[in-house]
Amino acid sequence: MRACNCSCVIWTGPLPGARLIPAQANTACARQGGPRYPRPHDRGGAVKSETTLDFSRVPGVLGRIVAERVVDYQGADPALGEPWPAARRLEAALAAPGLALIAEVKRASPSQGAIAPLDPLAAALAYQAGGAAAISVLTEPRHFGGDAQALRDVVGGVTLPALRKDFVVHPAMLREAADWGASAALLMVSVLGEATAEFLEGAHHLGLDALVEVHDERELDVALAAGARIIGVNNRDLTTLHIDLEVSPRLIRRAREAGFAGVLVAESGYRTPADLTGVRGLADAVLVGTSLAGSANLERAARDLMAL
Ligand SMILES: O=C(O)c1ccccc1NCC(=O)[C@H](O)[C@H](O)COP(=O)(O)O
């Protein structure tokens, strides 16, 4: 274990086996010398050396949410436990020809406030009937109205793969995702930085797919280097909440030009079929929350949005 005295969080030991330490005082920290991240091939499935995650570098709205999640999971057991491969695979569901829909169970958000008092299972069943290929379930409680039960209910009631949508800052959150029956977890490069590779390996160890989310070129390069198989490009800048639908086509093209052969997902801000024209023929899937969740008829909204 290593103490750090800026507002870093330090992992020591293996992942699984890492420890989360919020720093208190003000002496030298690993940031000054640059954080050290062991590469997956160095550790044969478990991190043997020390990793520093500096969550204090995450700015804006996202930074506040992440800080809360760090406190929520402080002291949690970091052991990942035994692999528990999901029977329904997100990657396979999205790789089919055409533009797939990941429909999100989203009751509230920082940008919208309350969206709709959804019953998660009823919403997911409606999305499934409306042609969705997968369901995203927010489990963050304070800003999105999510919880574990929402995910459990969805997993138990639909046949589609479910994504745990949360702000993963601790390996326990991956173990929970597997325990709750998710097929995949969201990993945000804006939050995890270079440690994305370790969390990706943790997810894969558990048998989860991972949606590795990026918002700019630098984050895309990190996701590619980490070995992501599913990359999501978020049109929403999560520090300012500004949406720009040009972000996804730009980064998806860049990923393909770099030789990425995996699944590409365009995320956020899609409200009408016309909004999707920029990613049709480019993205494998779109992730849509607010416009579906806030509609009067979720099944029809899903179907109408994806209509050609
Ligand atoms: O949605 C927000 O306001 C938000 C704020 C801060 C962090 C994350 C946030 N949303 C996560 C997402 O990106 C979306 O839930 C997802 O991509 C769907 O977006 P949308 O269709 O625009 O609801």
- ipTM metric: 0.98
And the tokens for 111?
A: 């940008």
- Specify the residue for token string 């699984």: 16
Report which of 225, 222, 242, 219 is spatially closest to residue 233, judged by C-alpha positions. 219
Which pLDDT value is given to residue 160?
98
pLDDT, one tens digit per residue, over 201-213 is: 999 999 999 999 9
Give the tens place of pLDDT for each residue, 101-138: 999 999 999 999 999 999 999 999 999 999 999 999 99
Nearest in space to 288 (alpha carbons), one of 278, 297, 298, 296: 298
Residues with CB under 6 A from ligand 1: 61-62, 104, 106, 109-111, 234, 236, 238, 241, 267-270, 287-291
**The whole model's pTM is what?**
0.87
Q: Residue 151 corresponds to which amino acid?
A: L
> Active-site residue numbers?
104, 106, 165, 213, 234, 267-268
Domain positions in the chain: 2-57, 89-306
Confidence of residue 51 (pLDDT cuts 50, 70, 90): low
73-88 pLDDT, tens digit each: 999 999 999 988 889 9
Torsion, Cα 138 115 74 39, to 10 degrees, reads 40
Task: Tokens for 12, please give them.
Answer: 């020591």
* Residue 175 exposed, middle or buried by CB count within 10 Å (0-12, 13-18, 19+): buried
pLDDT average, residue stretch 10-26: 37
For residue 109, report the distance from its CA to the centre of ligand 1, in Å.
Answer: 7
Average confidence (pLDDT) over 58-62: 95
CA distance 175 to 173: 5
pLDDT averaged over every residue in the chain: 86
State residue 38's pLDDT score: 30
- pLDDT tens across 257-291, in order? 999 999 999 999 999 999 999 999 999 999 999 99
Which residue is listed with tokens 């019953």?
A: 119
- DSSP-derived secondary structure letter, 162: E
CA contacts within 13 A on the Cβ side of 143:
16
Question: Does the structure show a pLDDT above 70 at 40?
Answer: no
Query: Is pLDDT at 17 greater than 80 in this prediction?
Result: no
**Helix (H/G/I), strand (E/B), else coil: 142:** coil
Pocket test for ligand 1, best of 104, 109, 143 (most atoms within 8 A of CB): 109
In this prediction, residue 308 has a pLDDT band, given cuts at 50, 70 and 90, of confident
Spell out the CATH class of 89-306: alpha beta
- 162: β partners: 135
Q: List strand residue ranges (DSSP E) for the chain, in order.
A: 9-11, 21-22, 51-53, 100-105, 108-109, 113-114, 134-138, 162-165, 184-188, 209-214, 230-234, 263-267, 285-288
Output the CA 136–ligand 1 centroid distance in Å: 11
